[in-house]
Amino acid sequence: MEQKRKLKEKSDKPFAKAAAKYTIYNVHEENELMPFLMKVMNGISRTKVKNLLTNRVILVDNVIVTQYNFRLKPGMKVQISHAKNNREFRNPLLKLVYEDAYLIVVEKKEGLLSVGTESQRERTAQHILNEYVRSEHSGNRIHVVHRLDRETSGLMMYAKDEKTQHTLRDNWHEIVYDRRYVAVVEGSMEEERGIVRSWLTDHKLYVSSSLVDDGGKFSVTHYQTIKRNSRFSLMELHLDTGRKNQIRVHMAQLGHPVVGDSRYGSEIDPLGRLALHAFKLCFTHPVTGERMEFETPYPKSFKDLML
């Protein structure tokens, strides 16, 4: 009896409920994020919605969204975080350029692997981004779409889900309509512009090039000379194909290896890195159909070599 009395007294006492982390709104029809929020939040002003977006407290399907015109689809859920401000992504080796519920665009520094390997799993862009998206929801993870060499810096993207990953991979050449690199190569380039075509074969430790079809993969690189001096040439490169080490092999084939690329014939390394940077990435969004265009400046160290 005494035990029952104590249990009753305990049950009669008020208890603290766990505070909800989000206010959740379900999406029932297609709309843009701004008008959707203004409607469900009792006529909140555009300025206040933009402040919420800037403070990174609006999520769509557990992913922070900062676009006011993000396209919502039926079945999605919009969450308003009760936190004052969500922690912003910061990493010295990786810069967050763009993020939505489907994909993420980053600028990778040289020296960082794009994806994990058996010998290196943690110091990779893939690992860093997985930690970031899992901080919002434990079930989140990123999916690899394409890669940059460890010693190449620049823009690249990852998918947030398998469906988006497969759409991007299976339709890469239709979706990505402009991808460009800048490089500093050895010597003074003879031509203002040109095209390199060859068949590339991956031998794991290096890639070989052949001017005839020897079973390799056909590869096309367009090049334009931006500036030259007696020692170096600053080149802009546009790929029709995206083979492993394609630019590095094609520049070496022209007799002008990328500066710092000892694997393919460079004998000098004034920058302590491979002088190759992916500076432009343009594609049609695989879900919303929007044209997405991202560009970073040429690295200052590349320009300094041309002085």
For the chain, give the DSSP string.
-HHHHHHHHHHHS--PPPPPSEEEEE--S-EEHHHHHHHHTTS--HHHHHHHHHTT-EEETTEE---TTPEE-TT-EEEEE-SS-PPPP-BTTEEEEEE-SSEEEEEEPTT-BSS--SS-SSSBHHHHHHHHHHTT-TT---EE-----TT-EEEEEEESSHHHHHHHHHTHHHHEEEEEEEEEEES--S-SEEEEEEEEEE-SS-EEEESS-SSSEEEEEEEEEEEE-SSEEEEEEEESS--TTHHHHHHHHTT-PBTT-GGGT----TTSS--EEEEEEEEE-TTT--EEEEE-PPPHHHHHHT-
Whether 61 sits among the annotated catalytic residues: the reply is no
Catalytic hit among 149, 161, 178, 304: 149
As annotated, the active-site residues are 149
